Homo-oligomer: A and B are copies of this chain.
Amino acid sequence: MADIENNNDLTKDQNEEKEDIVTPWDVEGANDSGIDYEKLIKRFGSSRIDDALIERLEKVIKKPVHHFIKRGIFFSHRDLHTLLNLYEQGKPFYLYTGRGPSSESMHLGHLIPFIITKWLQEAFNVPLVIQMSDDEKVIWKDLPVEEGIRLSIENARDIIAMGFDIEKTFIFSNLCYMGQCPEYYKNIVKIEKCVTYNQVKGIFGFIEDDVLGKVGFPAVEAAPALSTSFPFIFGDKKRQVLIPCAIDQDPYFRMLRDVAPRLGFAKPALLHSTFFPALQGAKSKMSASNFNSAIFLTDTQEEIAMKINDHTFTAEGNVDIDVPYKLLTFFLSDDNELERVKNAFSSGQMSSAEIRKIAIDCLQPIVREHQEKRKLVTDEVVEQYMTVRKLNC
């Protein structure tokens, strides 16, 4: 899947004066307050995750939802009620998410879909497939094919370090898996048969000078949402899928939702997250090429402190735009503690310096522990996760 850092042509609704831009390659707020997610829900035609849905989720899984959901970081969905209906009827689903391996260093923002995916996998005890879209990166970033595969493996190491159950998780590089399982290509052909150039142009804003690889990629990102792309896991069973992702990836699956019924599949269900803020604030974008715009999983403890102290956008007392506070909403899981910080900071009892320190204390151990776990992920372990095999669920 794509980072949100590339430039490309944009799909805008021409009816509105000035609108947030949200495509797989570009995310830009129309004004300083960042993306208007309410408007986005309307424009994309998805549904808000409301209290009733949260309540239902908790009833089904018999435990509280993840704080990403409670706090509105995952704020939008498609067909989650249908998915839960099926689940309650004993019809299990599977999870699909992905990563576009454009560089060796993943940053904290890249973890968001994987954190919720891991939580969902544990809550529902379902199989998970993770696409490393190295073909996409080879095409968009003009990387050599072998470098794309190398980055897939390096990024897979980070993903594995997050603790996904090896018995229930299959990670695949497109450049490798395409040549390992004919059913994958067959499903791509089936999707490619149903979508016109005009449609992808409308959905993704492609221009005529875009290369064929770009024009064709939507079918490649969509295909793993058809369970028959993994016959060694699902046989020829058509199983419902749930795709947790940042909302900029929605266009791929909006496209597939049109096509799936024609192929005899249910429409994929989705869970959409907001965007992770750049350290410089919600308006600017996090970029792997700008060292100080993000906290990388490879950062030292000192670099984390330095970045938060010197490079975060702070707004004394304003929890809506203060970046150190925003980071806490993602990574401080203790609701009571977050509430205490919020109240103290809003009321002026807590200074920017203090909240920065809290953010540093929160993030340093997360990154340190990640680095420790990553060291344990040997080449052999990566190979096991990426081996075509039966899963145990």
Contacts and interface: CB of A to CB of B under 8 A. Distances in A.
Interface of A: 135, 138-139, 142, 145, 174-176, 178-186, 189-198, 200-201, 206, 208-213, 215-216, 218-219
Contact of A193 (B139, B183, B198, B219): B139
5 contacts: A174-B185, A192-B211, A196-B212, A197-B208, A212-B216
B216 A192 contact: yes
Query: How many copies of this chain does the complex contain?
Result: 2
B182 A176 contact: yes
A213 B185 contact: no
Given A145-B186, A186-B145, A216-B216, A193 B211 contact: yes
A201 B182 CA distance: 28
Contact of A179 (B182, B190, B201, B218): B182
Given A179-B179, A181-B179, A198 B189 contact: no
Contacts of A213: 189, 192-193
A139 B211 contact: no
A189 B135 contact: yes
Contacts of A176: 182
Contacts of A201: 208
A185 B175 contact: yes
Contact of A215 (B139, B185, B212): B212
- Going nearest first, the 10 A-B pairs with the smallest beta carbon separation are A179-B182, A192-B213, A178-B185, A192-B212, A216-B216, A198-B208, A145-B186, A179-B181, A196-B209, A135-B189
A289 to B, nearest CB: 20
